[in-house]
Amino acid sequence: MPSKYMIHTRSVPNRFKTISRSGVIAWEEGCLKCALCVKKQCVYGVYDNRALDSRQMLESIDNQCMNCFRCVQSCPKELIHKSVIPEYKSLGDDYWTPDIISKLWYQAETGKIPVSGAGYPGPFSGPGFDAMWTDMSEIVRPTRDGIHGREYISTAIDIGKKPGRLSFSREGELVGEIPRIISIPIPIILKVPAFGSFSKETIKGWAMAAKDLGTLLALPETLLGNEPRDYGPHLIPILSGGGPKKGFSWKRSRVIEIPWNKDWRRTFDDLRKKNGHALVSLRLALREGIEERVISAIRGGISTIHIEASDHGKAADRREVFIRDGIRGVHLALVEAGVRDEVTLLASGGLAMAEHVAKSLICGADAVLIDIPLLVALECRVCMRCAKGLPCPVEMEKARPSWVARRVINLLGAWHNQLLEVMGAMGVRDARRLRGEAGRAMFYDDLDRSTFASLGSNADGYELE
Ligand code: SF4
Ligand code: SF4
The confidence score (pLDDT) of residue 90 equals: 92
Based on the domain organization, do 79 and 188 belong to the same domain?
no
Residues 211 and 350 in one domain: yes
Least confident of 67-71, 248-252, 437-441: 248-252
Assign residue 60 the CATH number of its domain. 3.30.70
Residue 133 inside a domain? The answer is: no
Q: What is the pLDDT of residue 249?
A: 63
- 3-class SS at 34? coil
| Burial profile 366-382: b = 16 or more Cβ within 10 angstroms, e = fewer | bbbbbbbbbbbbbbbbb
Q: Report the C-alpha gap between 214 and 237 in whole angstroms.
A: 17
Q: Specify whether 69 is located in the same domain as 161.
A: no
H or E segment and range at residue 274: helix 264-274
Looking at the structure, tell me whether residues 189 and 51 fall in a common domain.
Answer: no
Atom of ligand 2 nearest to the CA of 391: 3
Average pLDDT over residues 160-189: 87
Q: Say whether both 73 and 183 belong to one domain.
A: no
Q: What is the CATH number of the domain that holds 306?
A: 3.20.20.70
Last residue of a domain, one of 45, 64, 90: 90
Are 377 and 278 found together in one domain?
Answer: yes
Q: Is pLDDT above 90 for 389?
A: yes
> Do 260 and 163 belong to one domain?
yes
- At 250 the pLDDT is 62
In a domain, 301, yes or no: yes
Classify residue 116: in a domain, yes or no: no
Q: Is the pLDDT of residue 424 over 60?
A: yes
* Alpha carbons 130 and 118: distance in angstroms, whole number: 19
Burial pattern 254-283, b for ≥16 Cβ within 10 A else e, equals bbbbbbbeeebbebbeebeeebeebbbbbb
More confident residue, 378 or 247: 378
HSE-CB for 41 with a 13 A CA cutoff? 13
Instruction: Inform me whether the pLDDT recorded for 374 exceeds 90.
Output: yes
C-alpha pair distances (Å), 76 with each of 25, 35, 67, 81: 15, 12, 19, 12
Is 149 a domain residue?
no
Q: Is pLDDT of 464 > 60?
A: no
Range of the domain at 66: 22-90
Confidence class of residue 459 from pLDDT cuts 50, 70 and 90?
Answer: low
The predicted pLDDT at position 216 comes to 96
**pLDDT higher than 80, residue 127:** yes
Domain assignment present for 150: no
Q: Does residue 114 sit within a domain?
A: no
The upper half-sphere exposure of residue 414, i.e. CA atoms within 13 Å in the direction of its Cβ, equals: 25
pLDDT confidence bin for 118, thresholds 50/70/90: low
Shared-domain flag, residues 171 and 318: yes
Q: In the prediction, which pLDDT does 270 show?
A: 86
Provide the pLDDT for residue 151.
Answer: 72
51 lines ligand 1 (CB under 6 A): no
Sign of CA dihedral 400, 406, 410, 411: positive
Name the more confident of 151 and 173.
Answer: 173
Rounded CA-CA distance 224/246 in Å is 13
Q: Do both 72 and 204 map to the same domain? A: no
Ligand lying closest to the C-alpha of residue 399? 2
Determine what percent of the chain is predicted with pLDDT higher than 90.
59
In a domain, 109, yes or no: no
SS (H, E, C) 187-230: CEEEECCCCCCCCHHHHHHHHHHHHHHCCCEEEEHHHCCCCCHH
- Indicate whether 171 and 258 sit together in one domain: yes
Q: Report the alpha-carbon distance of residue 341 to residue 163 in Å, rounded.
A: 8
Number of domains in the chain: 2
User: Is 319 among the domain residues?
Assistant: yes
Whole-number pLDDT of residue 54: 77
- The residue whose CA is least distant from atom 6 of ligand 1 is 71
Instruction: Render pLDDT for 222-269 as a digit per residue (tens, 0 to 9).
Output: 888 766 677 888 999 998 866 566 656 666 789 999 999 988 999 899
Q: Is residue 278 a contact partner of residue 250, using CB atoms and an 8 Å limit?
A: yes
Give the residues across from 25 on adjacent strands. 81
Which residue of 22, 39, 63, 66 sits with most ligand 1 atoms within 8 Å of its CB, as the best mutation to test the pocket?
A: 66
Can you tell me whether residue 167 is helix, strand or coil? strand
Any residues with Cβ below 6 Å from ligand 2, and which?
196-197, 375, 380-386, 392-394, 396
**What is the DSSP code (8-state) at residue 398?**
G
Q: Does residue 96 surpass a pLDDT of 90? A: yes
Residues 86 and 161 in one domain: no
Average pLDDT over residues 84-107: 94
Same domain for 77 and 183: no
- Closest-lying ligand 2 atom to the alpha carbon of residue 197: 5
Q: So what's the pLDDT on residue 458?
A: 60
pLDDT of 123 > 80? The answer is no
pLDDT tens profile 275-300: 778 899 999 999 999 999 999 999 99
